[in-house]
Amino acid sequence: MIIIKHTNELKPNELVEIFKQRTAVFVVEQNCPYPEVDDDDFNDLHVCLVENGNLQAYARIIDKKTHITFGRVLVVKKFRGSGLGKEIVAATLKEITQRFPNVKIRIQAQTYLQDFYSSFGFKTISETYLEDGIPHIDMILK
């Protein structure tokens, strides 16, 4: 089941689980010490794929005013390999197009995911650069 909530609608246990899983993936697994929880978290939309009370996949949507972005896309380790990555991105894009029609969608993607995001129609618009020591590219949905 896809659940989409603004930060202030999340229950404390939901927010803790989101932060726990994001830290597990983006700090621990990727061995990348950086401030994973940031000021954007005060005003995000959180897209959660939940089954039987367990968070399986997640993404956050951020309104940058000039464009919409999404990130922190993850599939919880024990649920990987079953297509949930595509499912969470599809749900995120659907929510963005419903809430923010005709607004440009721009993302920062880890370079190894370029083909994955290209499958949704994203085009690369930058050279590779390092973000917190990890190669990234900017992509836009046209």
- The verdict on 131 and 77 lying in the same domain is no
pLDDT over 90 (residue 120): yes
- The verdict on 92 and 108 lying in the same domain is no
- The verdict on 37 and 84 lying in the same domain is yes
- Total domains present in the chain: 2
CATH code for the domain of 73: 3.40.630.30
DSSP-H helix ranges across 24-71: none
Mean pLDDT, rounded, for 125-131: 95
Q: What is the pLDDT of residue 107?
A: 98
pLDDT in tens, 28-68: 998 888 888 999 999 999 999 999 989 999 999 999 999 99
- The verdict on 126 and 64 lying in the same domain is no
- The verdict on 55 and 111 lying in the same domain is no
Q: What is the DSSP string of 91-141?
A: HHHHHHHHHSTT--EEEEEEGGGHHHHHTTTEEE-S--EEETTEEEEEEEE
- The verdict on 80 and 23 lying in the same domain is yes
pLDDT over 80 (residue 128): yes
- The verdict on 51 and 86 lying in the same domain is yes
Domain residues for the domain of 19 are: 2-102
Q: What is the pLDDT of residue 15?
A: 95
- The verdict on 53 and 41 lying in the same domain is yes
pLDDT in tens, 85-106: 999 999 999 999 999 999 999 9
Residue percentage of the chain with pLDDT more than 90: 87
- The verdict on 75 and 115 lying in the same domain is no
